[in-house]
Amino acid sequence: MDWPIAEVARMSGVTARTLRHYDEIGLLPPARTGANGHRYYGERQLLLLQQILVLRALDLGLEDIGRILAEQVDEVEALRGHHRRLLAERDRLEALAATVSRTIAELEQSRKDGTSMTINRPENLFDGVQPDQYQDSLRDFPEHAEQVAHRVAAMSPQDVEAGQRERTAQMIRLAELMTTGHPADAEPVQTEIDAQYQALAALRPATAEEYLEIGRSCVDNPAWHAAYEAIAPGLAAFQRDAIEAYVTDRLA
């Protein structure tokens, strides 16, 4: 049995245009092409598409996915490997969500008590946060990724950790502004976005369009989206909207 490209697109949520692109780059050729030029996919192609989508969800690029699919021999073993990666990512996100939950509870309690937050074990603030996850996700912005790689290579492990802690703190501050009702273009939000932009510009000047693309990646990039949503539901879109407001008001 095989299925036309429109049906595969409907079942998988992948657009027909993307499926045609996968065919053109040799990643997922159809089982056959009809006399009318329409592509048809069999069970084997559906299994391959599942693997492609799993690897995309793990933030692998199409080139890397093609290499993995070309190297694998046994489909069951390949799926077991993907399953292990998914479980590891689930565990990381659960740890990150638990970290943020603890921080929120401690912040709320300190506000009720009218006291400053006391951190008994500061290392717990950073459970589930991997210093390289944001750098790895810059693959869609190679010029910035190169500058980040150079900067990280010259940093001590302590400096890398401190930078990651500040990045996490920025996300939490933005989440607090969002949950307290500040719109994306509010001055306190834009102050946070400006600090993020200046930090980026210190590595390499970013054009308005580049910064807009980075903002959109907060929603479109699976790793970034997962990291933001682990902090607070809706934060990824809030970050994107705040960047769009920043670009319109300050960079246009």
Task: List the CATH number of the domain containing 11.
Answer: 1.10.1660.10
Query: Contact, 170 vs 192, CB < 8 A?
Result: yes
89 in any annotated domain = no
Q: Final residue of a domain: which of 56, 72, 88?
A: 72
Provide the pLDDT for residue 64: 81
Q: Final residue of a domain: which of 72, 88, 109?
A: 72
Task: Please tell me whether residues 170 and 246 are part of one structural domain.
Answer: yes
- Output the domain CATH number for residue 137: 1.10.490.50
Structural domain harbouring 162: 129-251
114 in any annotated domain = no
Look up residue 234 and give its DSSP letter.
Answer: T
* The total number of structural domains that make up the chain: 2
Provide the pLDDT for residue 252: 74
152 in any annotated domain = yes
Task: Please tell me whether residues 147 and 241 are part of one structural domain.
Answer: yes
Look up residue 181 and give its DSSP letter.
Answer: T
84 in any annotated domain = no
Task: Please tell me whether residues 136 and 67 are part of one structural domain.
Answer: no
239 in any annotated domain = yes
Residues of the chain with pLDDT under 70: 59, 72-75, 89, 92, 95-96, 99-100, 102-104, 106-107, 110, 115-153, 155, 157, 160-164
Question: Distance between CA atoms of 85 and 60, rounded to whole angstroms?
Answer: 12
Query: Contact, 130 vs 92, CB < 8 A?
Result: yes
80 in any annotated domain = no
Q: Final residue of a domain: which of 72, 101, 121?
A: 72
Provide the pLDDT for residue 149: 63
Task: Please tell me whether residues 68 and 155 are part of one structural domain.
Answer: no
